[in-house]
Structure 1
Amino acid sequence: MPNTINLNKINTYVTIWLYLSLFLVSALIFIGGLTRLTESGLSITNWELFSGILPPFTEKQWQDYFSLYKQIPQYKEINLGMSLAEFKYIFWWEYIHRLLARVAALAFVLPFIYFLTKKIFSLKQIVFYSIISSLFFFQGFLGWYMVKSGLIANTDVSHFRLSAHLLGAQIILSLLFFSILFMNVKKIYFNFYSYLILSFLIIIFFQIAIGAFVSGLDAAKIYQTWPLMNGNFVPEDVFIKEFSNSNSYSSPSHVQFLHRIIAYFIILIFSFIFYFLLKNKIVNLRYLFVVLSAIIFQVLLGILVLTSGYKIYIASLHQLGSIFLLFSIIYLFYQVSISPK
């Protein structure tokens, strides 16, 4: 009996640890999105792993940070004449994002090390959680690599690096949710249906990557109409054959068009998945409706981002919607994989 009680207590601690990490990474993605939407990501132009934990307190410290910002192209070409008060606004977004990233990483890694000393994890769990720990540190590097792309010759960060940074966070989030769902599952039954859901999940990740391109290129500030793009299904400056050329992925028109088309494609694919799983009585109807609702909600938010004139709060909700969509698909995968089909 004492061993059982102790094991239950440990399982409770592990569950709290994973849920806390899930919450922190979700918050990090939310704040990161707002940091991008408010164009605050370049306000801190250096990487101070330890000294950067504390914000500036004195007037001199604020002026030092502001002076560094004045040296980069974004200030010279876009924000010339910005006041210190205006700088503080964008500074705080980036500062909170960086601070939360440190907190999220430590909140995962330190308890993991503690649990390792208690020898409660299997080898597979150790490998799995070690991968997540490594991804946290890689995200820190990737974040700084992204910021560097906007400090010398550009007024914004590279949309390719922005996309990689967002995908990294979404992958960590997905792995955390996966680990919560399957924590007490002894065996995962990989079958045709689970592979089908995983394939669909890959398409969602690709759509998230293109969505980051849209954000990074400010592509939602053009063609703010729906269902047509200023009267055309395919805009005049979009050429389908050019999608084989990597340069097209740096064109705001091309990436917005692609983001729209993939959204329609996702609806079509999931309609088939919905019918197929329902017909074969693989999962309960309500789980399918949750995913379908998440997809429709995302599409509607995407339309509103455009037709509202690119309102920040709607764009932020659109990014939050991607988290809910990922969770709903992973939960559907869980439902088709916990028993033989």
Structure 2
Amino acid sequence: MSNWLLSICALIFVMVVVGGITRLTESGLSITEWKPITGAIPPLTEAQWSHQFELYKRIPEYQQLNSGMTLAEFKSIFFWEWVHRQLGRVIGLVALVPLVWFAARKAIPNGYGWRTGSIFLLVCVQGAIGWWMVASGLTERTDVSHVRLAVHLLTALFIFGFTLWTAFDLRSPGAEPRRVPTIGLWAFAALALQLLFGAYVAGLDAGYAFNTWPLMGGELYPEAAPWLEPVMRNFVDNPVTVQFIHRWWAFVVLVLAVVVARNVKAAGGRRESIFLHAAIGIQILLGIWTLLSGVSLHVAVAHQATAVLVVASFVAAVHRLAQAGQGASTALGTDRDDGRTYVPLIPSEVEGP
């Protein structure tokens, strides 16, 4: 079963990469209808292509930004959005068919039925969120809502992380579910916040605001930058503020990554420690390069792809800590006052795997 879940993770990784290309090539609004079943078949005749193009011509993006687009150019952006949606369908099938097969054979371990079922349901919900995001750009806007984009991206990464954690649980001794240590909760929360602002940067095209590093226009935070009212709007809608936070919160995540890596290495997870160090280091360098390159397509796509690897590295490291912590606590046989087995949540309490 773990191999099945890992295949879902691999498909989600490809999905996020294609989603990044779709966004950066401004292809996301090229398909203006949501047809989960019949939409799997692309236009096959010139008449069908002309019909899709006419539908695209009705939305603000075409009317205000792409009014001179040719049919050949439309086919190019249609391709990426169709591939993105097709991958969603494939992930849905890969999440459903083996699940039904395992359930029919009663091969799902105790405690994993609700988790594997939840993965399939989350994939379905993600498809609906994707359309909810696209729908925000079909009537009044020339792009999709950056808030809805953030929900779409973070949901994808949550499904990826949850599925990967479940796969690791199935591969652990006795297929025992593992609890997230306290340091892991802090790390995941900090990473989620960084990913949220990364999605805001993408949705607001905030990466184009300043292409210098480490200063923004020669200042830490440009004084001449517009400031929105009420103040809290700046943390969601202001491209300058959003880019500023995304720049520097990365180093908070880096500090937590170093702490997690240090603890996991002490618990015998040298490989997980190296993976985490490498992923977070490369991601920060790619983020800087994305800015300096003026948001080059290839660099920006690599930055988004590496974000998935960062999530994977955190999940692998924290799961190793959880496994070491639970194993050590059981061996020690230490109980709480309420009689339950004590599971240390601070990795430093564990001397070895």
Separation of aligned partners in 2, 1:151 and 1:320? 27
Aligned residue among 293, 299, 323 for 2:308: 323
The one-character-per-residue Cα deviations of 1:249-300 (angstroms, maximum 9, x if unpaired) are: 111111101101211222233344445666xx33444432321221111110
SS at match of 1:182: helix
Question: Is this contact kept in 2: 1:243–1:249, CA < 8 A?
Answer: no
Q: CA distance change for structure 1 residues 125 and 275 in 2, over 3 Å: closer, same or farther? A: closer
Question: SS at the partner of 1:183?
Answer: helix
Q: Hey, what's the Cα distance between the residues in 1 that align with 2:142 and 2:297?
A: 20
> Is structure 2 residue 318 aligned with structure 1 residue 333?
yes
Aligned residues: 324
Whole-Å separation in 1 of the counterparts to 2:107 and 2:312: 27
Aligned residue identity for 2:273:
L
TM-score of the superposed pair, with normalisation by structure 1: 0.90
Whole-Å Cα distance in 2 between the matches of residues 127 and 188 of structure 1? 13
Distance 1:174 1:237, change over 3 A: farther
Structure 1 residues 277, 241: CA separation in 2 closer, same or farther (over 3 Å shift)?
farther
Contact 1:283 1:336 in 2 (8 A): no
The question of 1:44 aligning with 2:21 is answered no
Percent identity among equivalent residues?
36
The aligned amino acid for 1:335 is: R
Q: Residue in 2 aligned with 1:219?
A: 206
Contact kept, 8 Å, 2:228 with 2:234, in 1: the verdict is: no
Matched, 1:166 2:148: no
Does residue 89 (structure 1) correspond to residue 76 (structure 2)? The answer is yes
Instruction: Assess, with a 3 A threshold, how the Cα gap between structure 1 residues 245 and 318 changes in structure 2: closer, same or farther.
Output: same
Q: CA RMSD in A?
A: 2.0
1:94-152 deviations in Å (ceiling 9; x for gaps): 00111110011111111101111111113421000111111011001100000000000
Q: Is the 8 A contact 1:188 1:337 kept in 2?
A: no
Whole-angstrom distance in 2 between the partners of 1:184 and 1:200: 23
| 8 A Cα contact 1:210 1:255, kept in partner | yes
Aligned-pair CA distance for 1:31: 0.7
Pick closer, same or farther for the CA change 1:237–1:111 going to 2, 3 Å.
Answer: farther
Distance 1:196 1:49, change over 3 A: same
Question: Does structure 1 residue 307 correspond to structure 2 residue 295?
Answer: no
Contact 1:242 1:248 in 2 (8 A): no
> Counterparts of 1:98-137 in structure 2 under 5 Å?
98-137=85-124
Q: Secondary structure at the match of 2:112?
A: helix
Counterpart of 1:81, as a letter, is G
Amino acid at match of 2:137: G
Do the aligned partners of 2:234 and 2:241 also contact (CA within 8 Å) in 1? no
Go from structure 1 to structure 2 and tell me whether the alpha carbon gap of 1:300 and 1:64 turns closer, same or farther (over 3 Å shift).
same
One-letter code aligned to 2:290: V
Give the superposition deviation at 1:172: 1.0
Query: Retained in 2: the 8 A contact 1:40–1:94?
Result: yes
1:266 aligned partner, one-letter code:
V
Moved over 6 A (4+): 239-243
Structure-1 separation of matches of 2:278 and 2:88: 30
- Note if 1:262 corresponds to 2:274: no
Matches within 5 A, 1:140-219: 140-185=127-172, 186=174, 187-188=176-177, 190=179, 194-219=181-206
1:55 aligns with 2:6: no
- How far apart are the structure 2 equivalents of 1:22 and 1:188? 18
Distance 1:177 1:154 in 2: 36
Contact preservation (8 Å) 2:2, 2:168: no
Query: Contact 2:201/2:207 (CA < 8 Å) preserved in 1?
Result: yes
Cα distance, 1:21 vs. partner?
Answer: 1.4
Cα gap change, 1:238/1:259 in structure 2, threshold over 3 Å: closer, same or farther?
farther
Q: 1:277 to 1:238 in 2, by over 3 A?
A: farther
Question: Which segments of 5 or more consecutive residues in structure 2 lack a partner in the other structure?
Answer: 329-349
Asked if structure 1 preserves the Cα contact closer than 8 Å seen for 2:178 and 2:319, the reply is no
The letter of the residue matching 1:135 is L
SS in structure 1 opposite 2:284? helix
Compute the displacement of 1:20 (Å): 2.0
- 1:19-71 CA-to-partner distances (Å, cap 9, x unmatched) read 32122111111111111111100000011122211000111100100000000
| Structure 1 partner of 2:61 | 74
